[in-house]
Protein backbone atom coordinates (compact mmCIF):
# COMPACT_ATOMS: atom_id res chain seq x y z
CA UNK A 1 0.00 0.00 0.00
CA UNK A 2 1.46 3.34 -1.05
CA UNK A 3 0.47 6.49 0.79
CA UNK A 4 0.55 10.01 -0.55
CA UNK A 5 2.35 12.81 1.25
CA UNK A 6 -0.84 14.12 2.89
CA UNK A 7 -1.65 10.69 4.32
CA UNK A 8 1.87 10.34 5.72
CA UNK A 9 1.64 13.79 7.33
CA UNK A 10 -1.74 12.94 8.85
CA UNK A 11 -0.39 9.65 10.22
CA UNK A 12 2.66 11.45 11.62
CA UNK A 13 0.49 14.07 13.34
CA UNK A 14 -1.81 11.39 14.78
CA UNK A 15 1.24 9.48 16.03
CA UNK A 16 2.54 12.58 17.78
CA UNK A 17 -0.89 13.21 19.27
CA UNK A 18 -1.11 9.59 20.48
CA UNK A 19 2.34 9.93 22.05
CA UNK A 20 1.32 13.07 23.91
CA UNK A 21 -1.93 11.46 25.10
CA UNK A 22 -0.04 8.36 26.22
CA UNK A 23 2.57 10.43 28.07
CA UNK A 24 0.10 12.67 29.86
CA UNK A 25 -2.69 10.29 30.70
CA UNK A 26 -2.02 6.87 29.20
CA UNK A 27 -4.28 5.30 26.62
CA UNK A 28 -2.55 6.37 23.41
CA UNK A 29 -3.81 3.10 21.94
CA UNK A 30 -7.29 4.65 21.90
CA UNK A 31 -5.93 6.87 19.13
CA UNK A 32 -3.61 4.46 17.32
CA UNK A 33 -5.88 1.40 17.05
CA UNK A 34 -8.71 3.16 15.17
CA UNK A 35 -6.15 4.76 12.86
CA UNK A 36 -4.55 1.39 12.09
CA UNK A 37 -7.94 -0.23 11.51
CA UNK A 38 -9.93 2.51 9.74
CA UNK A 39 -7.24 4.60 8.03
CA UNK A 40 -4.75 1.88 7.08
CA UNK A 41 -7.30 -0.92 6.68
CA UNK A 42 -5.65 -3.48 8.97
CA UNK A 43 -7.77 -6.18 10.54
CA UNK A 44 -8.27 -5.98 14.31
CA UNK A 45 -5.77 -8.69 15.25
CA UNK A 46 -3.00 -7.26 13.06
CA UNK A 47 -3.68 -3.74 14.29
CA UNK A 48 -3.57 -4.88 17.92
CA UNK A 49 -0.33 -6.83 17.36
CA UNK A 50 1.26 -3.88 15.56
CA UNK A 51 0.23 -1.54 18.35
CA UNK A 52 1.65 -3.90 21.01
CA UNK A 53 4.99 -4.14 19.17
CA UNK A 54 5.21 -0.35 19.01
CA UNK A 55 4.36 -0.01 22.71
CA UNK A 56 7.05 -2.56 23.61
CA UNK A 57 9.61 -0.78 21.42
CA UNK A 58 8.90 2.58 23.07
CA UNK A 59 9.11 1.01 26.54
CA UNK A 60 12.51 -0.50 25.72
CA UNK A 61 13.78 2.88 24.52
CA UNK A 62 12.56 4.60 27.69
CA UNK A 63 14.17 1.95 29.89
CA UNK A 64 17.51 2.31 28.06
CA UNK A 65 17.48 6.09 28.47
CA UNK A 66 16.56 5.85 32.17
CA UNK A 67 19.27 3.20 32.71
CA UNK A 68 21.83 5.49 31.05
CA UNK A 69 20.78 8.55 33.08
CA UNK A 70 20.81 6.64 36.39
CA UNK A 71 24.21 5.17 35.48
CA UNK A 72 25.60 8.64 34.80
CA UNK A 73 24.25 9.94 38.12
CA UNK A 74 25.73 7.01 40.04
CA UNK A 75 29.05 7.44 38.25
CA UNK A 76 29.11 11.12 39.16
CA UNK A 77 28.23 10.35 42.79
CA UNK A 78 31.04 7.79 42.96
CA UNK A 79 33.55 10.28 41.53
CA UNK A 80 32.46 12.92 44.05
CA UNK A 81 32.89 10.45 46.93
CA UNK A 82 36.34 9.39 45.68
CA UNK A 83 37.52 13.01 45.45
CA UNK A 84 36.00 13.79 48.84
CA UNK A 85 37.81 10.86 50.51
CA UNK A 86 41.21 11.80 49.09
In this prediction, residue 86 carries a pLDDT of 59
In this prediction, residue 1 carries a pLDDT of 63
CA angle 26, 31, 33 (to 5 degrees): 110
| CB-CB contact of 21 with 31 (8 Å) | yes
In this prediction, residue 82 carries a pLDDT of 66
In this prediction, residue 59 carries a pLDDT of 84
pTM: 0.65
In this prediction, residue 24 carries a pLDDT of 85
| CB-CB contact of 35 with 14 (8 Å) | yes
Tell me the pLDDT tens digit for each residue of 27-80: 888 999 999 999 889 999 999 999 999 888 888 888 899 999 988 888 888 877
Amino acid sequence: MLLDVNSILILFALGLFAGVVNTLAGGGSLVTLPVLILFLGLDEATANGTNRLLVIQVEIQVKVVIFYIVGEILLHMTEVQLHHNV
